[in-house]
Amino acid sequence: MPMEFYRKQFSDFQYFPPCSNQKVREIMMKHDMLVLPSIIEGRALVQQEALSCGLPIIVTPNTGGEDLVEEGLTGNLVPIQSPEKLAQCILKNLEERNSLKEKKVECLTKAQQYSWEEYASKIIDNNK
């Protein structure tokens, strides 16, 4: 949809064009969570990028990141095509803003458990 559609739905809507990894990190550091309600996705790297910035993630099982979610700590897993559940998770995270510092620590810890080498090993092991 054109940007005007989104701005009519939510006046504070912001679109961020493709940018460098450093700029992505700067943008993420100004936010409270990453919401990725994808219907079809591979392993979306943005999930690990968010965790490495201390952001909890709200994702569907179709984002390839189920292993990144420790329910309520590093984020939430919501069913695909479930806007009500998605909205509930977003609101709950906003209501629990006072626990963001603890969640940030959990997210950073979770992100440190992942590396390209480990990811490649899992892919190779699963294809044997």
**pLDDT per position as a tens digit, 47-81:** 999 999 999 999 999 998 899 999 999 999 999 99
Q: How far apart are the first and last CA of the chain?
A: 42
Indicate whether 45 belongs to any domain.
Answer: yes
pLDDT at 124: 80
Indicate whether 1 belongs to any domain.
Answer: no
Number of structural domains in the chain: 1
pLDDT at 1: 85
Indicate whether 118 belongs to any domain.
Answer: yes
pLDDT at 128 over 70: no
The CA-atom distances, in angstroms, between 123 and each of 45, 69, 88, 105, 116 are: 15, 19, 34, 27, 11
Stretch 5-19: mean pLDDT = 91
Indicate whether 13 belongs to any domain.
Answer: no
pLDDT band at 111 (very low <50, low <70, confident <90, very high): very high
pLDDT at 19 over 80: yes
- 31: domain CATH number? 3.40.50.2000
Range of the domain at 64: 20-126
pLDDT band at 44 (very low <50, low <70, confident <90, very high): confident
Stretch 84-109: mean pLDDT = 92
Rounded to two decimals, the pTM is 0.84
Indicate whether 82 belongs to any domain.
Answer: yes
Indicate whether 4 belongs to any domain.
Answer: no
Indicate whether 65 belongs to any domain.
Answer: yes
pLDDT at 104: 94
Write 80-87 long-range contacts (CB < 8 A, 24+): 80/37, 80/38, 80/39, 81/39, 83/37, 86/35, 86/37, 86/58
